[in-house]
């Protein structure tokens, strides 16, 4: 599971696992399905870029799964 840490919490995603579960869907195939470049999928998967809400829903739709199965959020620990 890829994680993106920030002071606002941690964003996680399961795109790599979901691609594997969907007949090893390639990053390019996913990119074409949701209408972005392969590099954007690479960046999202590596948690180097947080997609817009619209793109996040499109990715979830491409995997035919609810958005919470694709993306997760871990809030920062209370100080």
Partner 1 sequence: MSYQERNIVTYLITGIVVMAVYSFHMYGQFEAGLLNGADAGIQIGWSAIKLIGGSIIVTIIVSILVSIVNAIITQETEFDAADERDKLIDLIGMKVGFITFSIFFVGGMIWLALGAPMQFILLGFIYAMFISSLIEGSTRLVLYRRGF
**Where in 25-44 is the site for partner 1 (CB under 8 A)?**
35-40, 43
Report, in Å, the least distance between residue 26 CB and partner 1.
Answer: 15
Q: Could you tell me the sign of the dihedral formed by the alpha carbons of 52, 47, 60, 75, in that order?
A: negative
User: E strands within the chain?
Assistant: 2-6, 9-13, 71-74
Q: Please, which residue, 35 or 77, has the CB nearer to partner 1?
A: 35
CB atoms within 10 A of CB 74: 11
Q: Is 51 in the site for partner 1 (CB under 8 A)?
A: yes
Q: Which is nearer to partner 1, 46 or 67 (CB)?
A: 46
């Amino acid at each position: 599971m890829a994680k993106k840490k920030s002071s606002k919490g941690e964003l996680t995603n399961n795109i790599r696992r979901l691609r594997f579960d969907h007949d090893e869907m390639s990053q390019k195939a996913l990119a074409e399905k949701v209408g972005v470049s392969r590099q954007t999928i690479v960046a999202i998967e590596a948690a180097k870029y947080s997609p817009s809400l619209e793109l996040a829903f499109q990715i979830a739709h491409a995997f035919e799964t609810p958005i919470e199965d694709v993306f997760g959020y871990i809030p920062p620990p209370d100080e």
